[in-house]
A and B are shown apart, each in its own frame.
Chain A
Amino acid sequence: LAKTTQPISMDSYEGQEVNITCSHNNIATNDYITWYQQFPSQGPRFIIQGYKTKVTNEVASLFIPADRKSSTLSLPRVSLSDTAVYYCLVGFSGGYNKLIFGAGTRLAVHP
């Protein structure tokens, strides 16, 4: 499974756009990039998944450059409730495949 590197923590303010970048230099051809969000004492929650270029849903956007060695999760206009830990995972997200979580990025949104 590809190793991922992301910042340990980030700070932002309400209403700002937040971009969290994840490096995955040894991503395999068949790997997908998936982001999860976790609030304290809750289970991880799926945010978005992509393979290449750009993916957008009602919550976030995921930007993946052509070489796929990194990806950026973009959260538009964050609110206090977006304060959480965000995990970047690379590989198959489903089927029989386990998820390998790193330490994630702890995002703190301030008033």
Chain B
Amino acid sequence: EPEVTQTPSHQVTQMGQEVILRCVPISNHLYFYWYRQILGQKVEFLVSFYNNEISEKSEIFDDQFSVERPDGSNFTLKIRSTKLEDSAMYFCASSGDTSLSSTDTQYFGPGTRLTVL
């Protein structure tokens, strides 16, 4: 069964450093998303991406965040200058096949645990 993969599984960084979280969505999916989950809290939407541009972003997704699809398979989330409060699990998700059904399921990756020291 196809699945979303994410690397690394755990990233430790110093405050102020840049990090790039990587995701390989399910091939032939067209919509990509990033969510985060602070320990013990709800899963929160960050950004959605379609046709090489951001479709929607939340108030969490400020100028420190950016997303990119550098090639035909990867989808990345960059945090330019990490803060302590960026420590969380970051989940990538993808949905949508060529039929573009409005009920296409979002499939989540296993997550990257980001720890900012």
Binding site for B on A (CB under 8 A): 30, 32, 34, 38, 41-46, 49, 87, 92-104
Question: 21 A-B Cβ contacts within 8 A?
Answer: A34-B105, A41-B111, A43-B93, A43-B108, A43-B110, A44-B43, A46-B106, A49-B103, A92-B103, A93-B103, A93-B105, A94-B101, A95-B95, A95-B104, A98-B45, A98-B48, A98-B58, A99-B33, A101-B42, A101-B44, A102-B42
B85 CB, min distance to chain A CBs, angstroms: 19
Binding site for A on B (CB under 8 A): 4, 31, 33, 35, 42-45, 48, 50, 55-56, 58, 89, 91, 93, 95-96, 100-111, 113
B88 CB, min distance to chain A CBs, angstroms: 12
Do A43 and B91 have beta carbons less than 8 Å apart?
yes
Interface majority SS on A: helix, strand, loop or mixed?
A: loop
Cβ-Cβ contact count across A and B, 8 Å cutoff: 73
Closest to A45 in B: B108
A95-B107 CB under 8 A given contacts A44-B91, A101-B44, A103-B42: no
Residues of chain B within 8 A of A44, CB atoms compared: 43, 91, 108
Distance in angstroms between the alpha carbons of A42 and B33 in the assembled complex: 16
Do A93 and B106 have beta carbons less than 8 Å apart?
yes
Residues of chain B within 8 A of A46, CB atoms compared: 105-107
- Of the candidates A43, A46, A100, A101, the one having the most CB atoms from chain B within 10 angstroms of its own CB is A43
- Of the candidates B4, B56, B106, B108, the one having the most CB atoms from chain A within 10 angstroms of its own CB is B106
Distance in angstroms between the alpha carbons of A27 and B106 in the assembled complex: 20
